[in-house]
């Protein structure tokens, strides 16, 4: 047994059994004296017999408990089948302790109810049965129930150590004590035992009163009333103590479960509610832990998914709001491409290229996100972004142009740091166009991606390519300019004919 738990249980077990033994002695001295063959006066032989009998029972019980619980001394169980026996013993421990105590009280009934009368020559069968009833049934049942609930409560501090991955309720060979049965047992104990004791007292006193003189009978009846009152108070006190233990055995796991639920509501998915029993509450707690693990995995998937497709698309897909067949949307599309990318790659170490590309993409995407845009995909060194999808946003054209201005500013600041580090600056070209596209999930049955399809996508890409010829880093189409609701520095350029389009496109350079 785990050393700390052993101290806790032994510290309570010995005084509880000693108190039970004294209560038993008091029962046969004052409640039902004829049931136990006791001498009129307590003699040395009776005291010695009591000490030897009680001490022998305690030592044997302690030895049995130590022997049985020795595999639990490590406080953990190895994973897999190798630890099945240890885990089973961990669940069975309160039952074994209760069983040892019940066996001890049964032996006590035989030692004092049968063996002692035989040794003193006063054995009678009816008297022996009354003695065994008083010791084993009356005192033993209460002491056994008390020790079970005490051991269970103390052991719950250590039990979860043997089940770090859960599975306590799935252990085979371990008795279960349902909550309903738990409450029923306590109800019977706090009702049957007091009534039985009072009934025995009333019977004996009534018999004595009938056999005595009238004056003595009145005294016997008066004493009986006092004894009944005292027993009623004692029974209530014992009932309260047992009820507290049982209520705590139910309320404390539920309170911990409730506290864990509050933490989960706050977004904590790394905690687990300790499973401390294999009853309905234990199964409920394990179900809660499985649910939290599922939520944690879903949150991890959600966060990981968001790194590959963006948080907006992730949330729309998980919410089922993205039409798989696509839907027409008026959006503003932005393409950004690094100029002279191929010579730079050829002259640089591949690892340095990847590192710089990641830093560049981080800066550009930060500017796009700051204005409500969404990076749809990275194509080599090119960025495709959209404003107005998958979430419709008013003024998406103005957001796109302002994002281009911030991209220009971020690239200039980033280049200053690059030049100071001895690396060449990078330049890019940006094309912006507003039009209608088909936006949705596109791909095979097994692999989909969020994409934009339509002539407007091609126009934005072609405008980005024209930035080299027109000597402008940002080009905006006339359809985008028509949607702007603010004063932005745009300089008109001659209309151009883009590849794949018969009509010319009105073009503006962002100053």
- Name the residue ranges covered by the structural domains of the chain: 1-175, 321-510
Percent of the chain with pLDDT over 70: 88
Tokens 């006590």, located at residue: 108
Name the residue among 423, 510, 503 with its Cα closest to residue 471. Answer: 510
Average pLDDT over residues 326-351: 89
CA–CA separation, 107 vs 129, rounded Å? 13
CA–CA separation, 240 vs 442, rounded Å? 69
Residue 216 has a CB neighbour count (10 Å cut-off) of 12
CA–CA separation, 143 vs 383, rounded Å? 77
Q: So what's the pLDDT on residue 243?
A: 78
Q: So what's the pLDDT on residue 465?
A: 92
Please report, for residues 19, 22, 34, the alpha-carbon distance to residue 15 in angstroms, rounded to integers and kept in the order given. Answer: 6, 10, 27
Q: So what's the pLDDT on residue 493?
A: 92
The band of 439, judged by pLDDT with boundaries at 50, 70 and 90, is confident
Tokens of 386: 């959209």
Beta carbons of 135 and 105 less than 8 angstroms apart: yes
Tokens 């129930």, located at residue: 145
Q: How much is the CA Rg of the chain, to the nearest whole Å? A: 42
- What are the DSSP E strand ranges found in 444-477? 448-453, 474-477
Class of domain 321-510: alpha beta
Most confident region among 136-145, 318-327, 490-499 by mean pLDDT:
490-499
As a residue count, the chain comes to 511
Half-sphere exposure of 119 (CA within 13 A, CB side): 13
Most confident region among 271-275, 447-451, 501-505 by mean pLDDT:
271-275
Contacts of 231 (CB under 8 A, 6+ apart): 31, 194, 197, 198, 201
Average pLDDT over residues 42-46: 74
Q: So what's the pLDDT on residue 80?
A: 83
Tokens of 62: 């302690």
Average pLDDT over residues 205-229: 78
Beta carbons of 476 and 432 less than 8 angstroms apart: yes
Name the residue among 507, 498, 398 with its Cα closest to residue 455. Answer: 498
Which range among 22-26, 37-41, 269-273, 472-476 shows the weakest confidence by mean pLDDT? 37-41
Element (H, E) at 385: strand 382-387
CA–CA separation, 493 vs 490, rounded Å? 9
CA–CA separation, 267 vs 247, rounded Å? 30
Most confident region among 63-77, 89-103, 109-123, 425-439 by mean pLDDT:
425-439
Tokens of 485: 């609701």
CA–CA separation, 39 vs 165, rounded Å? 59
Q: So what's the pLDDT on residue 442?
A: 75
Please report, for residues 30, 205, 212, 454, 486, the alpha-carbon distance to residue 218 in angstroms, rounded to integers and kept in the order given. Answer: 18, 11, 9, 110, 108
Give pLDDT tens digits for 485-495. 777 889 999 98
Phi, psi of 332 (to 5 degrees): -115, 125
- Exposed/middle/buried for 45, CB within 10 Å: 0-12, 13-18, 19+? exposed
Contacts of 246 (CB under 8 A, 6+ apart): 149, 182, 183, 186
The band of 314, judged by pLDDT with boundaries at 50, 70 and 90, is low
Average pLDDT over residues 49-77: 84
Q: So what's the pLDDT on residue 42?
A: 63
Most confident region among 7-21, 161-175, 232-246, 468-482 by mean pLDDT:
468-482
Q: So what's the pLDDT on residue 412?
A: 95
Please report, for residues 37, 112, 189, 247, the alpha-carbon distance to residue 124 in angstroms, rounded to integers and kept in the order given. Answer: 9, 13, 28, 42
Q: So what's the pLDDT on residue 181?
A: 85
- Exposed/middle/buried for 203, CB within 10 Å: 0-12, 13-18, 19+? exposed
Q: So what's the pLDDT on residue 367?
A: 95
Average pLDDT over residues 395-414: 95
CA–CA separation, 325 vs 363, rounded Å? 33
Tokens 């009680």, located at residue: 54
Which range among 53-62, 140-149, 218-227 shows the weakest confidence by mean pLDDT? 218-227
Region for 95 from its dihedrals, namely left if φ exceeds 0, alpha if ψ lies in -120 to 50, beta otherwise = alpha
Most confident region among 135-139, 262-266, 449-453 by mean pLDDT:
262-266
């Amino acid at each position: 047994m785990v050393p700390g738990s052993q101290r806790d249980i032994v510290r309570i077990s010995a005084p509880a059994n000693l108190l039970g033994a004294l209560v038993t002695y008091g029962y046969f001295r004052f409640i039902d004296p004829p049931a136990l063959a006791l001498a009129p006066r307590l003699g040395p032989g009776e005291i010695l017999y009591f000490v030897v009998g009680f001490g022998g029972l305690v030592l044997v019980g302690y030895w049995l408990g130590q022997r049985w619980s020795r595999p639990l001394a490590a406080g953990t169980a190895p994973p897999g089948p190798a630890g099945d026996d240890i885990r089973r013993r961990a669940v069975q421990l309160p039952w074994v302790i209760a069983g040892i105590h019940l066996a001890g009280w049964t032996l006590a009934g035989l030692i004092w109810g049968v063996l002692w009368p035989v040794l003193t020559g006063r054995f009678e069968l009816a008297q022996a049965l009354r003695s065994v009833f008083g010791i084993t049934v009356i005192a033993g049942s209460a002491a056994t129930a008390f020790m079970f609930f005490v051991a269970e409560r103390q052991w719950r501090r250590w039990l979860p150590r043997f089940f770090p991955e859960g599975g306590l309720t799935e252990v085979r060979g371990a008795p279960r004590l349902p909550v309903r049965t738990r409450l029923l047992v306590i109800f019977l104990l706090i009702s049957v035992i007091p009534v039985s004791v009072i009934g025995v007292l009333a019977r004996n006193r009534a018999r004595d009163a009938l056999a005595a003189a009238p004056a003595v009978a009145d005294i016997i009846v008066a004493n009986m009333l006092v004894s009944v009152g005292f027993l009623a108070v004692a029974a209530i006190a014992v009932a309260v103590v047992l009820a507290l233990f049982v209520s705590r055995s139910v309320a404390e796991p539920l309170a911990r479960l409730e506290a864990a639920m509050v933490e989960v509501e706050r977004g904590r998915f790394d905690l687990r509610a300790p499973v401390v029993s294999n009853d309905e509450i234990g199964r409920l707690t394990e179900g809660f832990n499985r649910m939290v693990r599922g939520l944690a995995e879903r949150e991890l998937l959600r966060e990981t998914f968001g790194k590959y497709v963006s948080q907006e698309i992730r949330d729309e897909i998980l919410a089922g709001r993205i039409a798989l067949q696509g839907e027409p949307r008026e959006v503003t599309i932005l393409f950004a491409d690094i100029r002279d990318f191929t010579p730079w790659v050829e002259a640089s170490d591949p690892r340095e290229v990847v590192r710089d590309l990641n830093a560049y993409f981080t800066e550009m995407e930060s500017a796009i996100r700051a204005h409500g845009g969404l990076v749809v995909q990275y194509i080599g060194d090119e960025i495709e972004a959209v404003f107005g999808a998958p979430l419709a946003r008013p003024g998406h054209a103005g957001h796109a142009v302002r994002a281009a201005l911030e991209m220009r500013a971020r690239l200039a600041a980033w280049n200053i740091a690059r030049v100071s580090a001895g690396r060449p600056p990078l330049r890019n070209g940006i094309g912006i166009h507003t039009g209608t596209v088909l936006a949705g999930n596109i791909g095979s049955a097994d692999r989909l991606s969020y994409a934009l399809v339509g002539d407007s996508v091609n126009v934005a890409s072609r405008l980005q390519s024209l930035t080299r010829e027109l000597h402008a880093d940002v080009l905006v189409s006339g359809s985008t300019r028509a949607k702007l609701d603010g004063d932005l520095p745009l300089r008109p350029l001659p209309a151009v004919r883009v590849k794949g389009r018969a009509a010319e496109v009105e073009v503006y350079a962002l100053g």
